[in-house]
Chain A
């Protein structure tokens, strides 16, 4: 197969451009985390060093904040799935009165500017003892992320042919048993996609974490914010890099389950 050299060039340029857009900011972050001295207008730092990385690891609050973010994200994923699975199954399989309105209701927390919503939520939470508390943030994250999980999981259930469930019932399985042995296993790819989404969203969420948690507890994003506000870009960059690690691990685990073969099997 011969290719037009112009098209090859164009393609290479396009790929490079995409790489720059994707990787560019990351390179900056990595450079910053190792920069001991970096004055404008030098394109690279004047002095490299591990001073800030040492600081990050010696100061408990950085690791603590990352751990807090992880804990919040994982519990949020759990809550979000636990609520989304039954709701989505209902939406996918039964005629629910006011179905559209209910689905839109889930959209609400994402449909308005986040700031006023979370500030409101924060003042309510502080009245009922959920302010400055991990569970307050988890609750807010769960509510806000339900829109992703309910919509994604509903689409997943809808894509599973009803006949696959009916055969199981026909052979003697109860509703619940059918759901456990047929519907749920077939929905795994969708549940995983939804989990990734919610996990990453929670890890990166700032507004709710700030207004509900601060100043008593600080998630990684909040700490990053305060660090960069104090012109400590190195610490903020180091946290950013550390934050990427759990996300990558999460993605790799997920990718193993999202084998092409498994998805192809769904076509049945």
Chain B
């Protein structure tokens, strides 16, 4: 069942198209990750669903109900703000209970629900603290508790982990995912971290300059990116530009036709999915490029190589667990599906 339907949302700030014809759906129990570089319109998208941005065009439906012009308090979506926005004059209990008190629930039910959610998020013992007595991670949990305790029809998370240390970010990422599945809560999760999005999303939408470039399952957008931007934005990649000759681009063992008017091709290579070999491979599948190793970085679980190739001025950056000497001539073997060619 569809929980949220957004259709042709448009929002202009002067000349800036913060939302340019955005249409995305969220299904029951689904976690949609919206990713894109800073300024691509992710926050504007969330805020328009919450009712804090007046749209220039488009419609928003929640469980079939048109909420496009409703004030924020009549929408029953809960938003988690990037900077938590906890109320400094209330303790943790009052912060979390606020939405329930507005719903005029009996006092003991409010207490029960608040304690249940605090327990679920493992912050039960903080109930009497004020926000300024909490660490960043604890504040993040309180803000999350406050949003989900009201059992909204849709949960909106704006970069929920961006203010946390890298270490706990990874752990909380999975906690949020587990919690969301457990509550079967339709959720939009905004982030600029593509790896975070790939790891927790049921569905990913990639935004750029106010437009949605592609919507699909994580594996789909990773394996079949709709365009150069998506291919480059998702995954760990190396991009090389190869100039064409007589309407063709030649690289390694492969030749690609350039459409009329195109001068060169951009090739996106998934850096982690290549094999490096000092001998020329027999198989003709995939793309094999020969080059010379110019640099090597130790990355712990792998090495990162900078490889100079004849066909392009850009070096190819690839990762491998095997060690090769700087200066040696090698073949980089890229299987089909691990590189993408885009003509320009």
Contact = CB atoms under 8 A, between A and B. Distances in A.
B132 A267 contact: yes
Contact of B88 (A166, A173, A174, A267): A267
A268 B90 CA distance: 11
Contacts of B79: 166-167, 170
Contacts of A172: 73, 76, 99, 102-103, 150
The interface size bin for chain A is 20 to 34
A71 B48 CA distance: 50
Contacts of B132: 264-265, 267-268
B270 interface: no
Given A265-B130, A267-B132, A170 B89 contact: no
Interface string B61-94: 0000000000111011111010101111100000
A181 B87 CA distance: 10
A114 to B, nearest CB: 39
Given A265-B88, A265-B89, A266-B88, A168 B98 contact: yes
B45 to A, nearest CB: 15
B52 interface: yes
The interface size bin for chain B is 20 to 34
Contacts of B218: none
Interface in A142-179: 161, 163-164, 166-174, 177
Given A170-B79, A171-B78, A172-B102, A164 B73 contact: no
B50 interface: yes
Contacts of B103: 172
B81 A167 contact: yes
A50 to B, nearest CB: 49
A186 interface: yes
B291 interface: no
A186 B83 CA distance: 18
B146 interface: yes
Contacts of A214: none
B85 A163 contact: yes
Nearest to B102: A172
A163 B88 contact: no
A167 B85 contact: yes
A268 B86 contact: yes
A166 B85 contact: yes
B87 A166 contact: no
B73 A163 contact: no
Interface of A: 161, 163-164, 166-174, 177, 181-182, 185-186, 262, 264-268
Given A161-B83, A267-B88, 14 more contacts: A163-B83, A167-B79, A167-B85, A169-B73, A172-B102, A173-B98, A173-B102, A185-B89, A262-B89, A264-B132, A265-B88, A265-B130, A268-B87, A268-B132
